[in-house]
Amino acid sequence: MNKVFSYFLLAVVPASVMFGCTSKQEVAFKHIGNPLIRHMYTADPSARVFDGKLYLYTSHDRDDTDQNAHFDMTDWHVFSTNNLTDWVDHGAFFSLDDVAWASKQAWAPDAVMRNGKYYFYYPIEQSMIGVAVSDSPVAGFKDPLGKPLIDNTGNKQTVGREPIDPAILIDDDGQAYMFFGCRDARVVKLKDNMIELDGEIQPVQINGIDQFTEKIGGGWYGEGPWVFKRGQYYYYMYSNGWEKDTTLVYAMAKNPMGPFDYIGEVMTPVGAGTSHGSITEFKGKWYVFYHSKLLSNQGKQRSVHFDEIFFDKNGKIIPLQYKH
């Protein structure tokens, strides 16, 4: 048995003892340390709190993934918890089979609640973003448009080369924004119905970086945006690339559409090949959710983690020291 496999077994066996099927598709499990999710490979965690309960929407790296393919993922999972210790995996609640206009690359999603409905945003085929709607946060999502909300076909200048990784902010005044993009950072307002764009797609300006050198690292914008508000500041977190020493970094602004000022690292590098995460407040504490390749040692079989994070008196994030 090789070292990686024996670690995997040690990590999964204790957790599997605690699994219990709550229904045909649901799996109950406990958080026993990082990685949080050990019964399957998950990535790109989007943590949301709806009515006091935390929901985690993730993409899903397949057990039989082709390591040479470009993230051949086919469905998304949602998990929930009331206390960060007891979790339920509600299963693959949405998949490529639910989308008539696309057939590959089910990548990093996000979901929000508005007026009692749940809106799920998902990138597909490295070129489109769709939306699905449900009355429940964990099931029943349907594509109301029958077409993508964002599509870069013939329109890369405005939409960006790779419109992936949607992240939604609903501001205090009710205005919703969708951030997205790989290498080209973009933002667009959404109408109140959450399924239509409201105005033009715009570049996100990040002061203090040189985006046009194509040199990854530092404040360079790679992908995986996540925007949240804390106090008077909007925080724009994102990945700065795909090397061993790249990670989640952030910029801050007093306006949701920026311009943002680059600040620095949210956390030290995880070395998963990709960095993608979310930050949310839950029961008075702040947490960062992210992924690693700890269980598999493969960048295309990732595992979701979370840790508490802290801010200094000026509102800056005290970088999380990732422990391998």
Residue 59 vs 81, nearer CB to ligand FUB = 59
Query: Does position 276 bind ligand FUB by CB under 6 A?
Result: yes
| Per-residue contact string for residues 229-268; x = within reach of ligand FUB by CB under 6 A | ----------------------------------------
Q: Which residues are catalytic?
A: 44, 223
Pairing of strands 128-134, 150-151: antiparallel
Distance from C-alpha of 105 to C-alpha of 61, rounded to nearest angstrom: 10
**CB pairs under 8 A, 24+ apart, for 236-239?**
236/179, 236/204, 236/206, 236/260, 237/266, 237/277, 237/278, 237/279, 238/185, 239/274, 239/275, 239/276
| Chain residue at closest Cβ approach to ligand FUB | 107
Residue 44 vs 184, nearer CB to ligand FUB = 44
Distance from C-alpha of 126 to C-alpha of 106, rounded to nearest angstrom: 9
Contacting ligand FUB (CB under 6 A), which of 58, 59, 246, 247? 59
Contacting ligand FUB (CB under 6 A), which of 35, 44, 247, 306? 44
Structure tokens at 87: 């979790």
Query: Does position 274 bind ligand FUB by CB under 6 A?
Result: yes
Smallest gap from Cβ 24 to ligand FUB, in A, equals 27
Applying the rule CB under 6 A, the residues between 66 and 125 that interact with ligand FUB are 71, 107-108, 123
Cβ atoms 289, 308 nearer than 8 A = no
Query: Does position 223 bind ligand FUB by CB under 6 A?
Result: yes
Closest CA to 272 of 222, 211, 212: 222
Residue type present at position 38 = R
Contacting ligand FUB (CB under 6 A), which of 27, 43, 129, 133? 43
Cβ atoms 223, 164 nearer than 8 A = yes
Residues of this chain that interact with ligand FUB (CB under 6 A) are: 43-44, 59, 71, 107-108, 123, 164-165, 223-224, 274, 276
